Amino acid sequence: MKSTETKAFKATLQAMRARLRGDVTTMADAALRKTRSESSGDLSSMPIHMADIGSDAYEQEFTLTLMATEEDTLDLVEQALERIRTRRFGTCEECGGVIAKKRLEAIPFAPTCIRCAEKLENGGFGSSAGRPRQPR
């Protein structure tokens, strides 16, 4: 891959990393915030309705799930930046072939070519190779 192309992908990945770091921090703050009554300044000892407690728990769990997904994506972005540093960016981690530029434009942190990604998704690599797919 040409140096100018790599620089453009590096800038995209760095911007993505900055956004994801901000998102993860914001989500962590939201998930770990005080209870609804504490955050609103209500320090009375009146009980909170059970539905409010359930809603708060659901929102916290949902936020923690989103945060985990964002952290996984952030890890993939960091790996892609490392591949740029080591001049392996654009090379499939599985087969060593070239990752199509269109794929990298869509998913700049993609570690594999589309063919290998499909094989991985279908269990075509590793110890699960040759086993029939499990119905969903």
Q: Indicate whether 134 pLDDT > 50.
A: no
Res 37: pLDDT? 47
> 94 with 125: CB under 8 angstroms?
yes
**127 or 49: which carries more pLDDT confidence?**
49
- Looking at the fold, whether 65 and 94 belong to one and the same domain comes out as no
> 119 with 93: CB under 8 angstroms?
no
- Looking at the fold, whether 81 and 96 belong to one and the same domain comes out as no
- Looking at the fold, whether 78 and 44 belong to one and the same domain comes out as yes
Whether this prediction's pTM lies above 0.85 is answered by no
- Looking at the fold, whether 22 and 38 belong to one and the same domain comes out as yes
- Looking at the fold, whether 31 and 79 belong to one and the same domain comes out as yes
**5 or 101: which carries more pLDDT confidence?**
101
**36 or 76: which carries more pLDDT confidence?**
76
∠ at Cα 64 (60, 67), nearest 5°? 140
Question: In the predicted model, what is the mean pLDDT of the chain?
Answer: 78
Q: Residue 97: give the domain boundaries.
A: 90-136
- Looking at the fold, whether 65 and 5 belong to one and the same domain comes out as yes
- Looking at the fold, whether 68 and 127 belong to one and the same domain comes out as no
- Looking at the fold, whether 28 and 68 belong to one and the same domain comes out as yes
Task: Please write the tens of the pLDDT for every residue from 38-81.
Answer: 455 555 545 566 666 677 677 767 766 777 778 889 999 999 99
Q: Domains in the chain: how many in total?
A: 2
Q: Which two tokens stand for residue 1?
A: 């891959």
